[in-house]
Amino acid sequence: MKPIKNLAQYYVDLLVKLGIIKFSILLALALVALAVVIQVGITIVLNSSVSNVDIIRSVFFGLLVTPWAVYFLTVVVDQLEESRQRLTKLVAKLSDMRDRDRELNDQLHQKVEELNKQITEREKSEAARLEVMDDLKREVFEREKTQIELAERTALLRSFIDASPDLTYYRNAQGVFSGCNKAMEELTGRKEKELVGLTPWDVYSKEVAQQIVETDDKVFSNNQALTYEQWLEYPDGRKAYFELRKVPFYDKTGQHLGLVGFGRDITERKEHEDTLEKASRDKTTFISTISHELKTPLNGIVGLSRMMLESKLDKQQRHYMQTINVSAITLGNIFNDIIDMDKFDRNKLELLPKPLQFKEFVAEMESIAGLMGEQKGLRFDLERLTDLPDVIEVDATRLRQVLWNLISNAMKFTKEGGVVMSVSADVSGHLAYIQFEVEDTGIGIPDAEVDKIFAMYYQVKSGKDNLHAMGTGIGLSVSRELVNMMGGDIQVSSELGFGSTFTVSIAVPVSNETSLEVIDEQVDALNVFMVEDIELNVTVARSLLEGLGHQVTVAMTGEEALSKFEEGSFDLVLLDIQLPDMSGFDVAQQLRKRHAHLPPLVALTANVLKDKKEYFDNGMDEALSKPLSAKALKKVLAKVDSGEVGTLLSQPSLDEEASHDHFATVVDIEMLSSYIEIVGKAQVLEGVSVFEKLMPDYASILQTNLIAKDKDAIVSEAHKIKGAAGSVGLKRIQSVAQKAQSPELPAWWENIDEWVDEIRNSYQSDVEILKQWIEQA
């Protein structure tokens, strides 16, 4: 078939090459030639000769057939050509497809190769992982083995650490907790399991965490242990001051792993340090202030008495004057102690009203203030605006203290001009409304400060002069308190740069003078036994007593007193409380033990006398304060003479009155009465016992917050205490807590220590008083 195909192709190619005309001519020639050859051949075979006719016939035949053959061949050729072209296209397409196919094949091949590679790698890593796993398992196994061996020792160590009251904890190099002991669990309020994985930021307040992280960083960067102190807070709000020690730790290769921390609660130590510091500060301020404030009046007394000693005096007058002179000097030395005591007893201020020669009192103020003004180069005038009552019932010492404070302030804050004190009185019935006005031409007080100067420890801060450094900020506060207790008030008006006016108004009973007359009554000569160890006091008392016509026998120690005393020989015993060998109370007890019949025993004390109960409880019949005043001594002698001394305790009215006052200052009687009426005693007592349970925690949290100087926390704890105290009727605690929770009060920081102390020190005794009151209600 192939030769035929090739032949056909040959024809087609020839036809295409020559064109239809040339090809037709050639075909015609070929056909003619073929017809001639065939005709000639057949004729020769049949006839053995060839005629022309045969040849012509063959030519005609050839020529006749040619067009048909040409047509037929052309059609065939066209068809063939078309097929060929289609075939060529198909072949091209096929070849394209084959190329694409090859490309895809290549890609596939590559992918397969990659896949194989990955599989190999995975197999390799899987094998490695298995190997690591095996190692790990082996290690874990080994570790477990070691752990079991060490378990006993670790447990022992752990129990040591847990038993420690000190904090112990570990943090890794990233500052994340990795372990702690029980004390630390308590501090953070989290179990060890909960703490592990947390950072200080998650556990402490922002400020605390900040300090912890900073010190951690220091330990890490310096690679050195560090000790410092810091406040930390328990979950219940209680703060404690810790001494923290942080020590870095490393692994065998020296790689830094983290730190171990230890913390010791040193709150108590801190508290004592603060108290000591404050006490020494207070002491220094007071001593310097008091010595300054005392100089003026004391110098007056010393100077004047010296002057009088140079004038003409009789023997006795000279002796008295010498005593005054020496006493004034001694007074300067002992005053520091008295002032300290006054400060600590301030919360228990009490008035002892007695008849007072008012006109004499005013004259005395006038002469001392005049003297003081003279020394400062200031004018002092006293104006009596109205008639003054002769005798009023008032605590003269306290009234003197108030006026003296106003006058000395006026002179302290005045450089030029002077001070005027005016006194007026309006007597209506049994009451005298008395007004004192102390006006100065001094520096004045800024408007914004006028209301604040009565706050404890408050002083107007002025940069120009240093006048305030001489004061303490106590005087006005105490003065206002005293005047309020007298049923009055102190007001101030002031103009900055022009001066101030302080006005004291009190309403006091006008006395019927009988009690004063008693003093001048003549008493019989008595035999007085005096036990006193200080020579000066003996001189003063002896002069006084002998001057009044009495006889004095002196013993200077307790022993001497006990041996010298003879029953029936004396009408009165004056007994100093502080003797070199024993206390006056001991002497009194011994005397009472040894003798059936004793004369009245009167205590002599250098302390400020506010409450005589302590003296009565210790076997005394009366008490007098030193230095002895003629009036007080005369009064006692008069009482002894009339047999009054020794009966004081049996006067029930005094007791009842005192006990009512005692309750009224501590408990809210009105509120409690209606409370008991509504819910009954049992319910109220139950409330009190809840209060008793809560208070120790409240008080200790308050205290730690005070030491930590955390104002907000102090305020919030004081607020709780105020609410709790108020709900059970503890009036005093409630009012102190009210002040403690009000930081807007002037000089709040200066006073808060005392308020907190007062709450802590008084709440238990106040609860006892409250219970007593409820019982007897």
Show contacts with ligand ADP in window 622-661 (CB under 6 A). Answer: none
Q: Which stretch binds ligand ADP (CB under 6 A): 57-65, 119-127, 471-479, 667-675?
A: 471-479
Contact 438, 407 (CB under 8 A): yes
User: Does position 267 bind ligand ADP by CB under 6 A?
Assistant: no
Calculate Rg over the CA atoms of the chain: 60
For the record, the structure tokens of 633 come out as 């001594």
Among 378, 443, 591, 725, binds ligand ADP (CB under 6 A): 443
What CA–CA distance (Å, rounded) separates 489 from 485? 9
* Least distance CB 411 / ligand ADP (angstroms): 8
User: Does position 473 bind ligand ADP by CB under 6 A?
Assistant: yes
For the record, the structure tokens of 127 come out as 């094998």
What CA–CA distance (Å, rounded) separates 707 from 713? 11
User: Does position 327 bind ligand ADP by CB under 6 A?
Assistant: no
Among 263, 355, 442, 558, binds ligand ADP (CB under 6 A): 442
| DSSP SS3 for 458 | coil
Among 58, 168, 325, 459, binds ligand ADP (CB under 6 A): 459
93 burial type by CB count under 10 A (0-12 exposed, 13-18 middle, 19+ buried):
exposed
User: Does position 441 bind ligand ADP by CB under 6 A?
Assistant: no
Which CB sits closer to ligand ADP, 168 or 494?
494
Among 215, 305, 405, 704, binds ligand ADP (CB under 6 A): 405
User: Does position 409 bind ligand ADP by CB under 6 A?
Assistant: yes
| DSSP SS3 for 583 | strand
The CA–CA distances, whole Å, from 80 to 16, 74, 546 equal 12, 9, 175
The CA–CA distances, whole Å, from 592 to 356, 620, 624 equal 36, 10, 20
User: Does position 526 bind ligand ADP by CB under 6 A?
Assistant: no
Angle of the 711-728 helix axis to the 748-776 helix axis, nearest 10: 20
Q: Are strands 527-531 and 489-495 parallel, antiparallel or unpaired?
A: unpaired
* Least distance CB 436 / ligand ADP (angstroms): 14
* Least distance CB 467 / ligand ADP (angstroms): 8
Which CB sits closer to ligand ADP, 269 or 281?
281
Among 474, 540, 623, 633, binds ligand ADP (CB under 6 A): 474
Q: Is the peptide bond before 627 cis (omega within 30 degrees of 0)?
A: yes
Q: Which stretch binds ligand ADP (CB under 6 A): 116-124, 270-278, 474-482, 536-544?
A: 474-482
233 DSSP β-pair partners: 239
Taking CB positions, which residue lies at the least distance from ligand ADP? 471
- Total chain residues near ligand ADP (CB under 6 A): 22
Q: Which stretch binds ligand ADP (CB under 6 A): 235-243, 458-466, 700-708, 751-759?
A: 458-466
Which CB sits closer to ligand ADP, 28 or 406?
406
* Least distance CB 385 / ligand ADP (angstroms): 20
Q: Which stretch binds ligand ADP (CB under 6 A): 215-223, 469-477, 600-608, 610-618?
A: 469-477
User: Does position 404 bind ligand ADP by CB under 6 A?
Assistant: no
Show contacts with ligand ADP in window 489-518 (CB under 6 A). Answer: 500
Q: Are strands 177-180 and 226-233 parallel, antiparallel or unpaired?
A: unpaired
Phi, psi of 237 (to 5 degrees): 100, -10
Which CB sits closer to ligand ADP, 348 or 461?
461
Q: Are strands 601-605 and 489-495 parallel, antiparallel or unpaired?
A: unpaired
The CA–CA distances, whole Å, from 694 to 361, 700, 709 equal 51, 10, 22
DSSP per-residue codes, 291-338: HHHHHHHHHHHHHHHHHHHHS---HHHHHHHHHHHHHHHHHHHHHHHH
635 burial type by CB count under 10 A (0-12 exposed, 13-18 middle, 19+ buried):
buried
Among 248, 332, 355, 475, binds ligand ADP (CB under 6 A): 475
What CA–CA distance (Å, rounded) separates 331 from 327? 6
- Those residues whose C-beta lies under 8 Å from the C-beta of residue 762, and which sit 6 or more positions away, are 732, 733, 736
| DSSP SS3 for 769 | helix
Q: Which stretch binds ligand ADP (CB under 6 A): 186-194, 451-459, 572-580, 753-761?
A: 451-459
User: Does position 471 bind ligand ADP by CB under 6 A?
Assistant: yes
User: Does position 488 bind ligand ADP by CB under 6 A?
Assistant: no
* Least distance CB 456 / ligand ADP (angstroms): 8
User: Does position 445 bind ligand ADP by CB under 6 A?
Assistant: yes
Residue type, 4: I
Among 232, 453, 579, 695, binds ligand ADP (CB under 6 A): 453
Q: Which stretch binds ligand ADP (CB under 6 A): 8-16, 207-215, 428-436, 437-445?
A: 437-445
* Least distance CB 434 / ligand ADP (angstroms): 20
**In 164-312, which ranges are continuous DSSP H helix?**
182-188, 192-195, 200-203, 206-222, 267-310
495 DSSP β-pair partners: 499
Which CB sits closer to ligand ADP, 492 or 638?
492
Among 468, 634, 711, 760, binds ligand ADP (CB under 6 A): 468
User: Does position 425 bind ligand ADP by CB under 6 A?
Assistant: no
Q: Which stretch binds ligand ADP (CB under 6 A): 125-133, 179-187, 354-362, 470-478?
A: 470-478
What CA–CA distance (Å, rounded) separates 753 from 773? 29
Sites of contact with ligand ADP (CB under 6 A): 405, 409-410, 413, 440, 442-445, 453, 458-460, 468, 471-477, 500
